[in-house]
Amino acid sequence: MSFQKFISNAISEWMNGDGQDADIAISSRVRLARNLRDEPFPMLATDSQLERVIEQVEQAMEDEAFKTRNHFEMIRMEALTPLQKRVLMEKHLISPNLLADSRKGAVILSENEAISIMVNEEDHLRIQCLFSGLQLKEAWEAADGIDDIFEKHVNFAFDEKRGFLTSCPTNVGTGIRASVMMHLPGLVMTQRINQILSAINKLGLVVRGLYGEGSEAVGNLFQVSNQVTLGQSEGEIIENLAGVARQIIEEERVARQNLMRNHRLQLENRVCRSYGILTNARIIESKEAAERLSDVRLGIDLDIIHGVPLSVMNELMVMTQPGFLQQYAGQQLTADSRDERRARLIRERLQSTIE
């Protein structure tokens, strides 16, 4: 396996669109924050201390149980260009935090990209499992298995009363962050999204954009995740989020049915116009591309558009990002050049589905 594969290939396993309710729940993610007991947290650690963390992690990776799960590769952030790091972030394999501050940072990637383990990000370890569709339980079990292997080889910072100790107090306890990325155009179009988001917040959950905290919800994509990490078990957190996600999915299905029943012609017109623009445009900006792709994705789900797999929509969601466009082109691009290449890439990719 080569690092270039992670950079040049847009497809990750979570994009294949074959998980439960994958038409609405694009992906499920579980992330565990862990720190080594005898080392300062990354924000206070020296380079030599951070290097010791990497060495201990590498030793743990020699465990046979680790090797039999998947083929893994450790990639040092300092060996990458800013553009390469951005591509990894756009593929959801590293966080914006590791992109911005990658001093002595690294990421361990599984060959199928379902597992990524960030080293020396905000915490010493961020174990992330990303699955297609609504598969929170499966993602949790995978993350828990990796966590168990590490726990055999390193001593985690743990307090009997507080649980796992983390750099940010909001992660103390279980250290778990679980989220579901959801495509909710029906709720947006029927103007029910604010009501749903308000109800979600009252349940102790939080809604963010495509790239997590601080990111904008573009293309009708929302990440719903837990806020509470202390006072509940991991299983309770997962089950609570999964239950809320199922309710949101049902509300989105009802909204889509209402649109098809009461505004079918207008909806078909919107979807087909967006498809026409994407298959013919010569220039398109990132935000418009996200909105048009959202319309086409909805059209696929509602059988208005045929022959385009959901996996292509997930792929284009990544391939149209600035970093990937420039990596694909093999050079830095101006904003105008990115808009031109984005339009060309979308045209070619959609055309390939009907040839």
Q: What is the pLDDT of residues 84-94, one digit of tens each?
A: 888 889 888 89
The pLDDT of residue 355 is: 56
- Whether the CB-CB separation of 107 and 94 falls below 8 Å is answered with yes
The pLDDT of residue 1 is: 46
Distance CA 235, CA 224 (A): 17
End-to-end Cα spacing for the chain = 31
Successive 10-residue mean pLDDT values, the chain, 355 residues: 57 79 95 95 93 94 82 90 88 86 86 92 96 96 95 93 91 94 96 92 83 65 89 93 96 97 98 97 96 97 94 89 87 94 94 77
CB 187: neighbour CB atoms within 10 A?
22
* Beta strand pairing call for 176-183 and 221-226: antiparallel
Binding residues for ATP, as ranges, are 27-31, 92, 126, 177-181, 208-213
Binding residues, as ranges, are 27-31, 92, 126, 177-181, 208-213
Assess if CATH 3.10.100.10 describes domain 3-255.
Answer: no
Q: In Å, how far from its chain's centre is CA 323? A: 16
The domain limits of the chain are 3-255, 264-352
